[in-house]
Structure 1
Amino acid sequence: MSVKQISIFVENKEGRIKKAINTLGQENINIRALSIADTTKYGILRLIVSDNKKAIDALERDGFIVKENEVIILAVPDEPNGLNSTLAVFDEKGINLEYLYAFVSSKTDEAIVVMRLENMEKAIDALKDSNVKILETEDIENL
């Protein structure tokens, strides 16, 4: 029930993120969600895209370093404290959250949250036990 995310390592210089996004656009790859974290020398652009293999191939051809890893994508109540009720599941089970980013869609009343956790398998089991709505690749394509 995890989804593959790509992470692109970009130099922290003018135009590098634009170049990565342009590379994807030229290949007709749709970005469903994104996040960026930066340091003084580089940034990590994390993306959920319509075609990982095609995206990775194009980005690597353009000189980018790209990694693919698993994340969990959840639908959480789009209301005050909606995310916190989901995070409580991880606290109860002692599961460490590494990072998250969120987006909204006009096609749902829920907020969509992308999460990377220290123990993905344990996190998925805990979410299932708590009846949290876990999205799959097909669900994201329809948002």
Structure 2
Amino acid sequence: MQIQQLSIFVENKSGRLAEITEVLAAARIDIRAISVADTSDFGILRLIVNKPDEAVAALKKAGLTVSLTNVIAMGIDDVPGAFSKAMRILADIGIDVEYMYAFISRKSGKAYVILRVKDSKKAVNALSSNGIQILTAEEFYGM
């Protein structure tokens, strides 16, 4: 149960994010979650979109460097300690989180977190067997 994340190499210059999001808008791609990590010269734009294959095609056609990565989307109750519980489950089985980011959903009472880990299958099994909701691609893209 993984979803696909786009990673786009972005030159750190004015207007670049506008250009990228305009490509997606023209292709009628809906952004579900977004994260940017940057240095002084470049950044990595991470996106979860409703149609990842179509987004990759549109971005490559526009001359951008883009790749797809499998990530986990987990839903946790929006209460103190819920996120800590999920992180403890992963720590207890030796799973390191490479990076993560959260996003706002239309569904109240839940917080959603995107996780990138080395052993997704092990992480998904541990989280779901401990009551943590793992979203399928269909559930996530349909949000």
Gaps of at least 5 residues in structure 1 are none
Residue aligned with 2:85, SS: helix
Displacement after TM superposition at 1:54 (Å): 1.0
In structure 2, the partner of 1:135 is 135
Partner of 1:86: 86
SS of equivalent to 1:128: helix
- 1:60 paired residue number: 60
**Per the alignment, in what secondary structure is the counterpart of residue 13 of structure 2?**
coil
Q: Distance in 2 between matches of 1:104 and 1:19?
A: 23
CA contact (8 A) 1:97 1:115 kept: yes
Alpha-carbon deviations, 1:26-81, whole Å to 9, x = none? 11100011111111111111111011111111101111100101000000111222
The answer to whether the 8 Å contact 1:35/1:101 transfers is yes
Structure-1 separation of matches of 2:138 and 2:108: 15
Tell whether the 8 Å contact from 1:104 to 1:110 is kept in structure 2 after alignment: no
CA distance in 2, matches of 1:74, 1:62: 32
Residue 43 (structure 1) aligns with: 43
Which amino acid in the other structure matches residue 65 of structure 1? T
Match of 1:101 in 2: 101
* One-letter code aligned to 2:69: N
Q: Does 1:17 align with 2:5?
A: no
CA-to-partner distance for each residue in 1:65-113, whole Å, 9 max, x for gaps?
0010100000011122221111111111110000111112232310011
Displaced runs of 4+ in structure 1, greater than 3 A? none
Give the alignment's TM-score, normalised by structure 2: 0.95
Q: Is the 8 A contact 2:51 2:141 kept in 1?
A: no
Q: How many residues align?
A: 143
For the aligned residues, what is the CA RMSD?
1.1
